[in-house]
Structure formats: structure tokens, C-alpha cells
Structure 1
Amino acid sequence: MHIPIAFGTHGQMQDCARVIFDDEAAFSERVSYLEEQVKILSLLKEKDRKIAELEKRIAEQDRRTGLEQTTDSTLSAHIQILEERILELESKLSRFHESLTVKSDETDCAQAKAKDLENIVAIREHEIGELAKTIIQKDEENKWLSETLLEKSAGMSAAEDNADELARAIRFLMDEIAWEDNESTSGDVKEIARHVLAHVQSLRERIYDLEKSLAYEREVIQAYESEQYSSEENCSATGHDGLNNLHSTYLCPSRASTRYQIKPHLNSVSSVTLASSESVSKPYGCNLLPHGATFHDSPPNCFAT
């Protein structure tokens, strides 16, 4: 049945409804039906609202689930990065431990080298002390040589003067004898004169030899003084003073040749400088030995410079 739409108050609408419907019973039935429909409509609206809320909740749940999934994947990525970082740090730590071990070994080696250097320094200090003693000894020897040479020079000068005076006296005597008759001159006087002349000649030769020896010894002293403090070689010197008949050993293995001299004594002042391939001849009584060898001898002792 088609129901026309009417506008007006509730009473007017009821009046209109009574007109439309034939009796009151049909009208009440229709009203009940409409009220039922309204209730159903209200229920449907409530269901739609609930469905919308459920859909909203579902959407929110989906959104949260997506965020959780995203968060889980992000956390997994971060965890993987952290694991890789931990592995890298463990590798660096292992290398650091290895480096510490190497550094410890290097430290031990450095300490051992330092100890070796300390021992070497102690040895060098001992050698320097021995060299200082040797230099002092050589200074004393040089002083003694100089004084002895001065005494010899004075003695030879006096001997020359005496020889010249004696020669003049003998020449005067021979001149006097020449003026006398040869037959009247005693043969003993002539023999004495010849002996005196021969002795004078021997004295002159001895003086000449002494002059040569003195000149040579001066050259040796000059060479010794010039080289005493200018040596660039490190020689290890051990031994004792030759005056007490003990031996002296000087090792200079780095030199191409070594010079050996006879140590002077009170009754013998003699010295000689040799190359490494030569040897000392008599009367020095000392043979040159190879580099690094130890030699023993009786006075005068041999020593190396």
C-alpha cells in the first residue's frame, strides 16, 4: 500500500492516518510494524557503527602489526650490524693482543740490547782506563828518553871537546917529534903516539855512531810525540811495565801494519819501528808476531805503538 507523505503535527498525522486506514486495528498494527522497523533500523545502525569500529580497530591493528614487522626487521638489521661490529672488535682485539706480544718481545730484545750496550760501555771504559795508563806510562818513558838524550848529548859534546883537545895535543906532539932527529926519537914514544892516534880515531868513530844513534832516537821521539794523541784506531792494551820483566800485549787487528818498539831501560836505550812483514834483529832480541798475537820476551821488552 502506498502511503502518502503528510506534513503537520502529530495529531494531524494521526487524524490523517485514521482517514487513510479504515479502522483503528489496522492503524495500530501498522504503527507496531513501523516501530519494529525503526527498532530494526536502529539495530542495523548500531551494528554498522560497531562494524565501523571493528574495521577501525582492525585497521589500527593492521597498522600496529605493520609497525611491529617494520620494527622487527629494523631490529634484525641493527642486530646484524652489531654482530658484525662485535666480530670486527674481536678481530681488532686479537690483533691488539698479538701486537702486545710482539711489543713485549721487542721490549725484551731492547732490554737485552741495552744490557749488551752497558757491558760494551763498561768494557770501553776499562779499555780507556788502560789506554790512559799506557799514555801516562809512555809520557814517563818519553820524559826519561828526553832526559837520557840530553845527558847523552852533553856527554858527546864533552867527548867531542876532549877528543878535539886530545887530537890537538897529539898533533902538537907529532909535530914536535917530526922536528927531532928520527934516530934520536925513542921508538916507544912513536909507538905510544901511534896508539894514541888510533884511540883518538876510535873515539871519533864512536862519537859519530853516537851522533847517528842520537839523531835516530830524536826522530823516533818526534814521531811518537806526533802520533801519541792522534791515533784513530781503538787498540786494546793490557800488560805490565817492562821494567819488571813482565810482558805487554797490544792488539790492533784493524791496522794494515803494526809498529813495534824496544822498551827503553836504564842500561840500554834502543828503539826500532817495523812494518808488519819485518822482524827485529839482534841486538834487540825481539821478533814481530802477527796481529792479535801475544808475545813474551826478556828485557828490554817489546811494545807496540
Structure 2
Amino acid sequence: MILVFGKSGQVARELSVLDGVKCLGRDEADYNDPTACAEIVATTTASAIINAVAYTAVDNAETDEETARIVNGNTPAAMAQAAAARGIPFVHISTDYVFEGNGDKPWKTNDPVNPQNAYGRTKLLGENGVRDAGGPHAILRTSWVVSAHGNNFVKTMLRLGEARDALTIVADQFGGPTGAREIAAACHSIAHQLVKDTSKSGTYHFSGAPDVSWADFAIAIFAKSGLTCSVTGIPSSDYPSPAARPLNSRLDCETTLSTFAISRPDWSRTLTHILADLEHQ
């Protein structure tokens, strides 16, 4: 059995339907209490742990960094320490926001980190805590998570596209839209592989392909959904936000393929599945 921290988030909801998975919601695990979460790990009969919990309100983290630090940093570190003490593999989902976000080359797993906002800083704290715990682990950095659940870019574009004839969308931020379903499947596979071979421990990247701008992704969403909404690309400077966003969220995913035989998913296919799921909701 794989124990998942998280139940209502995009990735956790996709993990909950996979075989041999038990998901813990906030009523069973207080993510704001690192000690309590570590105690759950210390007493579980699970063969592996997946942490799918995160404080993901990027802009809110600028003024509530303490809460983000606990959820994204202290709690994963405490859980990883408890898992390491028992030799249980710990899979942790992280983000491209740990990088500076400049340039145009895909970030490699060993590139220097330099987060530009509170969310990125707290996620990096969690990464370091998981590594420092010293147990079998995989840190999976991903980007631009989308699904039929929760709040994400696809659902926002569909809502706005139905209400408006034209939109202005940021065109100078590039990354790989990644389905929560595909992230869940990757974490599930990585957890099982770590149980059999702990030498695969390390930091990995996973994002959808090909890399695209937000504006071009929006155009694809409207084309596939049949909405007639025109898109005009704008620079990030025309859409200011409390937290700085990376211009370059491209991720080099080669080591994930070579180590776990998990390739980058085609986000166009992901988008098709999301639209189909939304039709049946």
C-alpha cells in the first residue's frame, strides 16, 4: 500500500483512483503540524509515501510565507525524516519555481537554484529537508499543473472563453503544461520502483511536451474546446502580480526517462482527456 498525504488537490484526486493507494485528507492529517504528520509516517504499514500536499497560492504566499514555509518546507522534512528512519521511500512533488526562471534552456536537475518568490523559497526548503533526511526518496519537480479538478489554467480559460470574445494572455512565459493524472501515474510508478531499487533516489523533472507559451496554450484550449475566443499575446510586465513568475519553466526530463522509463506526456492528449472529463462532471 502507498500512503498519500493529500486528498482534495489536483494530483491527490488522481492518485486516489489508482490501485493500492490510501489518501489522507486534512481531517486525518494536519499539514500545518509537522510532528503529527511525522507520527503518521512512523506508524504506517505503507511500503512508500507520496507527499501531494502543498501551499500553492503563489501570490498569497508573499504575505503568508510562514504558513507556506510550514506546509511546503517543515512538514515534508519531518515526514521524510520519519520515513528515512524506517527505510520507507518518500516521493515528494516540487516545482520549477525553485529556479531563477531566466534564459530559454530547459532546467536540468543539477542546475543552480535561485527562487524568485516566497512559494519557490518554501518549496526549496522542502526539497532540502527531504534530501537531508537521508532516506530513499524522489523529488519530482513539475510545472503548469492542469486537470478537470480544482483551479487551473485550463478551467480558467474555458470559463473566460465562454464569457468573452477576446483575451490578452501572457506570451513570454514558457513551460510544459502537465496533467495531474500524468503526475499521479508518474509518482505511483516511481514509488513502486523505489521500493525495489532505492539506488534510484534523487531529484527528477517531469513536465508535458512540447514547451509552449501561456498564450499559445490558451489558443490550443479554445481550438480543442470549440470556443471562438481570440487571443492576443502580452508581456508579463503588462500583467503584474504580487509574486514574480518565471519566464522560463522549461524542464529537462531526460533523467526521469532514463531512470524510471517515464517519458514526457503530450499535453495535447492531456487536454483532450480533461475536456472529456469536464463534459461528464
* TM-score > 0.5, shorter chain as reference: no
Give the TM-score category using the shorter length: under 0.3
As a proportion of its length, which structure holds more strand?
A: 2
Name which structure has the greater RCO, CA cutoff 8 Å, separation 6+. Answer: 2
Task: Mark the structure with the bigger radius of gyration.
Answer: 1
As a proportion of its length, which structure holds more helix?
A: 1
